[in-house]
């Protein structure tokens, strides 16, 4: 069975009530392909805005991050239960900005992923290497380490989408070539086959997430292991619709 094409939009710490509503309105007005799954991740204060404004059956809403507890004295955190209460169905975990700026460990990200799944959220699990690691030729070692932290405690990957994000390509305008992305995605899938089984590995969608935009998205069209994109800055712009349509 072919894997369903998936496009995620991570708004990061950008937007207002008005601008988030405008982005959703642009999606509502677009003729989006029915075969493409779309998930948008506004900042936490605007999750309910995105949920309320969304009229597209193929579009769902995600949090950008969650904690690994349902409630308690965890100032500034948001629980999976609260995300669900707002009407969202997804969360990101392990985004490179959480790993590098907030210093979240592989193990903590794995615990958050596990708890989010247990509470009923689907997860976009982000992995990826720095420029230094890429130059050192350890890309697949890094992604394997990040994946293994999760596979050690999560056996069912049905509700996980993996997003490969080369850290050096995020927000820099640089992007891996489609050939580089395919090679890395193929290696990621091969590693997953060893850890979670060939059947699950064949079914898991692996997204590319390094400076994808309306112009370069079509270049990935024929890459067998690139199952979609996790888009950053371009998800705030009208070209997000072009990315969603890039497989047509």
Please work out, in degrees rounded to the nearest 5, the angle formed at the alpha carbon of residue 137 by the alpha carbons of 184 and 219.
35
185 is catalytic: no
> Mind giving me the DSSP string for 77-123?
---HHHHHHTT--EEEE--HHHHHTS---HHHHHHHHHHHHHHT-EE
* Residue 165 falls in the annotated catalytic set: yes
Q: Are 175 and 211 in contact (CB under 8 A)?
A: yes
Let me know if 71 is exposed, middle or buried by CB neighbors in 10 A (0-12, 13-18, 19+): exposed
Instruction: Determine the Cα–Cα distance for residues 53 and 117; give it in Å rounded to an integer.
Output: 25
Count each helix (H run) and each strand (E run) in the chain, helices first. Answer: 10, 8
**E strand residue ranges, the chain:** 6-10, 37-41, 59-63, 90-93, 122-127, 160-164, 206-208, 228-231
For 235, list phi and psi in degrees, rounded to 5.
-75, -15
Give the side-chain half-sphere CA count within 13 A for 36: 23
Catalytic pick among 95, 111, 129, 185: 95
Residue 212 vs residues 28, 78, 208, 230: alpha-carbon distances, Å: 22, 28, 8, 8
Q: DSSP assignment, residue 40? A: E
Eight-class DSSP state of 223: -
Catalytic residue among 60, 111, 129, 165: 165
Residues annotated as catalytic are 95, 165
């Amino acid at each position: 069975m072919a894997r369903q094409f998936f496009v995620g939009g991570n708004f990061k710490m950008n937007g207002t009530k008005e601008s988030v509503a405008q982005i959703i309105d642009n999606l509502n007005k677009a003729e989006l392909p029915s075969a493409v799954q779309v998930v948008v991740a506004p900042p936490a204060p605007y999750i309910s805005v995105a949920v309320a404004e969304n009229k597209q059956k193929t579009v769902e809403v995600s949090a950008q991050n969650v904690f690994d507890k349902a409630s308690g004295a965890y100032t500034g955190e948001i629980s999976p239960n609260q995300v669900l209460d707002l009407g969202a169905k997804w969360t990101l975990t392990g985004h490179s900005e959480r790993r590098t700026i907030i210093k979240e460990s592989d193990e903590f990200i794995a615990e958050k992923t596990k708890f989010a799944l247990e509470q009923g959220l689907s997860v976009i699990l982000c992995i990826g290497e720095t420029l230094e690691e890429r130059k050192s030729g350890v890309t697949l070692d890094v992604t394997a380490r990040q994946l293994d932290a999760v596979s050690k405690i999560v056996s069912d990957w049905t509700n996980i989408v993996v997003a490969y994000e080369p850290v050096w390509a995020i927000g820099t305008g640089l992007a891996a070539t489609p050939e580089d992305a395919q090679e890395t995605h193929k290696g990621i899938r091969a590693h997953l086959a060893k850890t979670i089984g060939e059947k699950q590995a064949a079914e898991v969608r692996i997204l590319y997430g390094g400076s994808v935009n309306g112009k370069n998205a079509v270049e990935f069209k024929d890459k067998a292991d690139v199952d979609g994109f996790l888009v950053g800055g371009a998800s705030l712009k009208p070209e997000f619709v072009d990315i969603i349509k890039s497989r047509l």
